[in-house]
């Protein structure tokens, strides 16, 4: 995973920011959205955000 890859273009949330949120205890899409703001503007990136969450949790 490229931690600099922008996952949410509306707010500029990167994969690294999502990973940090997951590492900090946000394990669901809603928790990551609350922690990072990703997916809260238009929602188009929800699937991509979930993919990053899944990848991080998988280890």
pLDDT in tens, the chain (59 residues): 899 999 999 999 999 999 999 999 999 999 999 999 999 999 999 999 999 999 999 98
**Which structure tokens are listed for 32?**
């990551």
N-term to C-term CA, the chain: 11
Residue 29's nearest CA partner among 44, 39, 16 is 39
pTM of this structure:
0.95
């Amino acid at each position: 995973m490229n931690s600099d890859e922008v996952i949410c273009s509306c707010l500029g949330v990167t994969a690294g920011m999502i990973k940090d949120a997951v590492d900090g205890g946000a394990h669901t899409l809603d928790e990551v959205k609350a922690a990072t703001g990703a997916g809260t503007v238009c929602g188009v990136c929800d699937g991509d955000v979930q993919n990053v969450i899944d990848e991080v949790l998988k280890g």
